[in-house]
Structure 1
Amino acid sequence: MSKKLHLVSLGCTKNLVDSEVMLGRLKEYEITDDNREADVIIVNTCGFIDAAKQESINTVLSLHDERKKDSILVMSGCLSERYKEELQAEMPEIDIFTGVGDYEKIDALIASKQSSFSPEVYLATETSGRVVTGSSYHAYIKIAEGCNQACSFCAIPSFKGKLHSRSLSSIQKEVENLVAQGFYDFSFISQDSSSYGRDMGMKDGLFDLVRTVEGIDGVRSARILYLYPSTTTFELIDAIADSEVFQTYYDMPIQHIDDGMLKIMKRGFGEKKTIELLEYMKSKPNAFIRTSVIAGHPGETEESFERLCEFMEEFGFDRFNTFTYSNEETTTAYTMEQVPDEIKEEQAAILGEIADRSTQRSLEAMVGKKVELVVEGESSEHEYLLSARPLIWAVDIDGEILINDTSDLSIEYGKVYEANITELVGNQLLASLVKQV
């Protein structure tokens, strides 16, 4: 009988790619959703902010409590890397510890039941043999690891190091391999995607990536996640908007808009230039703009918070996330005077309400439009409704459209259809299919 594997991937989609690499190395195992019957349990942890760290610890301990005798429990990823000494000393429940450098060695580590922390962060290549999960048509492509920025609130460079980009040929080969397997929609990700290639001497690395991907036969749709304001140019915005393959999708976390706060946060760009970039993105036909902001960063005054709220209400983002500031050791903001928790939570709630209104206005603007979308399956809302995602929306984070009229078309999940968006019911868009395209 084959041995069984239970894997939990926490945190961001960059972590998901690393988890998929581990699945590729452990293909001889049968994947099980029941952790109690697994011979090997892996938790790929997140160590970004307090809430993520706590989720990682709770998940590991919960799985330990339920696991069967003689099973192997592995803790990998960012949290394990960031606190390797403390966790190994304080968590005897774990059989194998590994960080962010040994994903491709996970089979050997399990076979020898040894922990390992390689000094270099691992970056998947076209030969990693990863097993893409969650979709038959969409895959994430990690283009770089680490980050050269020095944001006051972010600990990532302290445990993932400086920017380390993949070669363009490696990215091209991975996409070509996935296209050959039937994938046609891709999201390109890293900590700071607009800096891609700078460590390799590429002046316009992301331009080169866009052009390369456009030339791969079989790629139908693509988007770039996580641009950084000071490394994003008007020319890059043009290149994305002009592409017939890349969606006019701009995901650029701004974190704040007040000049004083941007300086405190060490964001590189001030309010004026940040707004110029955003307005230029907004000027592009059918542009979709997503961002994120932080509530309660040290140094935030009532006036700077009001300026942030005013801008987020007025600009018209299609989506934005709010993160409550988490005080992380190794960051420059760690020793600054902290905003009280109750004020941080109040500010996050206010920004959350603004985000809801902003999303609602974006959804309202889509009523009456014709879109290309992927029918993903039966909706959890009702057995007679289908769940679909417009190709311009990012997977899992921008929502779904419900299909209540198939026009008697033969439906294939994972295929692209033209649809008319007919109405907005509450915060849910409804659409009718026109034809398969």
Structure 2
Amino acid sequence: MKFSKEKPQKSLHLVSLGCTKNLVDSEVMLGKLSEYKLTNDNENADVIIVNTCGFIDSAKEESINTILNLHEQRKKDSVLVMAGCLSERYKEDLQKELPEIDVFTGVGDYDRIDELVQQKQSNFKNEVFLANDTNERVITGSNYHAYVKLSEGCNQACSFCAIPSFKGKLHSRTLESLVKEVKSLVSKGYVDFSFVSQDSSSFLRDLGHKDGLIDLINEIENIEGIKTARILYLYPSTTSLELIDKIADSKVFVNYFDMPLQHISESMLKIMKRGKGVEKLRELMSHMKSKPNSFVRTTFIVGHPGEKQEDFEKLCKYVEEFKFDRANVFSYSDEEGTTAYENENKIEQETIDNRAEALGEIIADTTISSLEEEIGKTFEVYVDNESDEHEYLLSARKTIWAPEIDGEIYINDNELEEQIEFGKMYKVKATELVGDKILATIIEKCN
């Protein structure tokens, strides 16, 4: 009698670096490689993929270090793949300089990664890949939240940004494709969604629709089973007061307003090619803040060529006055292929670092002020899992907050006579702020 012997299942170790848009592409790759068993053991994995980030110097350095470290630790005959933005941006140089890599691919072939791995073949498609409703993704990190990518590329011409040079112009998904994907995810139990792209407020403009996000909100509100949703990365020149009102009036979309401003000085906005005047920016931000239970997030760049001390002081004053709920500050990174790279009015690195530190301290204070406002209030959260801090603390997130970036709430008490379920929504009362963590008590389960 002969017995058939099954082949042992091969294993896959994937590292997704950079933004949440990269994460969506990584999840598409996981879907195409579903016959592989996911593993955290990179030393014994059969296939190792690094989805790289090529946005700024620190991200590029992290990508290179990550892939070289993985190469040093991997087993013989494993397949090491370098994919994503950094690989796309410097494809010729990297293929010459990194013989350690078995497969190089950029931002156009996520949906055929299985073929490239099997054939050990490098490939760079001329057009960027955009996930659609036919791509089976493996959602990572959550059993209730998913990111959904609206578009790829960008039509803006910001002086400091190299993304359009390797991701191209705006290329939006169709509304029908998005609705189909979200419905599919809802059928699998996902109830919370973050819609992302390089420039979300330009969604559908390349297809002739000026109010693409308003159309999206209308469609998503009609899908039964969604509890909460938010839009990340609004762009000033394509965001209208009408859109802000639409978000605020929505029963599904939370009042989450994420608009990277980069600066607030009139002269710097012109140098940075940001497209909106200061008064218009202030009007947009004030309108967002005026909405009930609003949450306003932004990012700034300091040390851009041409930034005078008075420009920086204006920025600091505005941040102190506006009191953003969350903000990030980035030190200017000199990126080849951008107009800022050609600008001769460069600022010394020590000055850039000092400005970043000073603005970072102001932002830290405004973040704490925002968190202090929550103490004594009741609000809804998603409970994620046990916290890393202590086995008796549960980790939760306010439903308006975006995952990973806006903070963590520790649940240290429960008034219900039932076990808390991970991935479910509860009403809590915030009792105390310890450092930058809110402590809260569960008082009610939400339907």
Q: TM-score range by the shorter chain?
A: over 0.9
Q: Deviations over 1:274-294 (max 9, x none)?
A: 000000001100000000000
Partner secondary structure for residue 48 of structure 1: coil
One of 231, 234, 256 as aligned partner of 1:227: 234
The amino acid that maps onto 1:333 is: A
Counterpart for residue 177 of structure 2: 170
Counterpart for residue 95 of structure 1: 102
Partner secondary structure for residue 140 of structure 2: coil
The amino acid that maps onto 1:148 is: N
The amino acid that maps onto 1:59 is: T
Comparing 420-429 and 366-375, the one that deviates more: 420-429
1:203 CA drift (Å): 1.9
Q: Give structure 2 stretches of 5+ with no counterpart.
A: 1-7
Counterpart for residue 307 of structure 1: 314
1:295 CA drift (Å): 1.1
Q: Deviations over 1:295-353 (max 9, x none)?
A: 10000000000000010111010000001100001100002121111111111101110
The amino acid that maps onto 2:192 is: D
Separation in structure 1 between the aligned mates of residue 385 and residue 304 of structure 2, nearest angstrom: 41
Counterpart for residue 113 of structure 1: 120
One of 16, 39, 42 as aligned partner of 1:32: 39
What TM-score comes out, normalization by structure 1 length?
0.99
Partner secondary structure for residue 342 of structure 2: coil
Give the ranges of 4+ consecutive aligned residues of structure 1 lying more than 4 Å apart after TM superposition: none
1:332 and 2:339 equivalent?
A: yes
Partner secondary structure for residue 366 of structure 1: coil
1:419 and 2:428 equivalent?
A: yes
Residues 202-351 of structure 1: matches in 2 within 5 Å?
202-336=209-343, 337-351=345-359
1:434 and 2:437 equivalent?
A: no
Separation in structure 1 between the aligned mates of residue 216 and residue 323 of structure 2, nearest angstrom: 29
Counterpart for residue 361 of structure 1: 369
Comparing 426-435 and 342-351, the one that deviates more: 426-435
Q: Deviations over 1:178-218 (max 9, x none)?
A: 00000000000000000000000112100000110000001
Separation in structure 2 between the aligned mates of residue 427 and residue 394 of structure 1, nearest angstrom: 16
Separation in structure 1 between the aligned mates of residue 251 and residue 298 of structure 2, nearest angstrom: 23
1:74 and 2:74 equivalent?
A: no
Separation in structure 2 between the aligned mates of residue 173 and residue 417 of structure 1, nearest angstrom: 28
1:404 and 2:412 equivalent?
A: yes
1:428 CA drift (Å): 1.7
1:426 CA drift (Å): 2.7
Q: Deviations over 1:252-277 (max 9, x none)?
A: 00000000000000000011110000
The amino acid that maps onto 1:241 is: A
1:95 CA drift (Å): 0.6
Separation in structure 1 between the aligned mates of residue 178 and residue 361 of structure 2, nearest angstrom: 39
Separation in structure 2 between the aligned mates of residue 378 and residue 5 of structure 1, nearest angstrom: 26
The amino acid that maps onto 1:70 is: D
Separation in structure 2 between the aligned mates of residue 372 and residue 248 of structure 1, nearest angstrom: 14
The amino acid that maps onto 1:185 is: D
1:146 and 2:175 equivalent?
A: no
1:388 and 2:392 equivalent?
A: no
Q: Give structure 1 stretches of 5+ with no counterpart.
A: none
Separation in structure 2 between the aligned mates of residue 374 and residue 427 of structure 1, nearest angstrom: 18
1:129 CA drift (Å): 0.4
The amino acid that maps onto 2:361 is: E
Separation in structure 1 between the aligned mates of residue 434 and residue 63 of structure 2, nearest angstrom: 36
1:434 CA drift (Å): 0.9
8 Å CA contact 1:409, 1:435 repeated in 2: no
Counterpart for residue 3 of structure 2: none
**TM-align CA RMSD:** 0.7
Separation in structure 2 between the aligned mates of residue 156 and residue 355 of structure 1, nearest angstrom: 26
1:368 CA drift (Å): 1.4
What TM-score comes out, normalization by structure 2 length?
0.97
Partner secondary structure for residue 277 of structure 1: helix
8 Å CA contact 1:22, 1:106 repeated in 2: yes
Partner secondary structure for residue 218 of structure 1: coil
Separation in structure 1 between the aligned mates of residue 229 and residue 296 of structure 2, nearest angstrom: 15
Q: Deviations over 1:124-145 (max 9, x none)?
A: 0011101000000000000000
1:42 and 2:40 equivalent?
A: no
- The size of the alignment, in residue pairs, is 437
The amino acid that maps onto 1:301 is: K
Counterpart for residue 13 of structure 2: 6
Separation in structure 1 between the aligned mates of residue 436 and residue 80 of structure 2, nearest angstrom: 41
1:57 CA drift (Å): 0.4
Counterpart for residue 4 of structure 2: none
The amino acid that maps onto 1:338 is: K
One of 136, 139, 145 as aligned partner of 2:143: 136
1:425 CA drift (Å): 2.3
1:409 CA drift (Å): 3.3
1:410 CA drift (Å): 2.1
Separation in structure 2 between the aligned mates of residue 198 and residue 119 of structure 1, nearest angstrom: 22
Q: Deviations over 1:111-130 (max 9, x none)?
A: 11110000110000011101
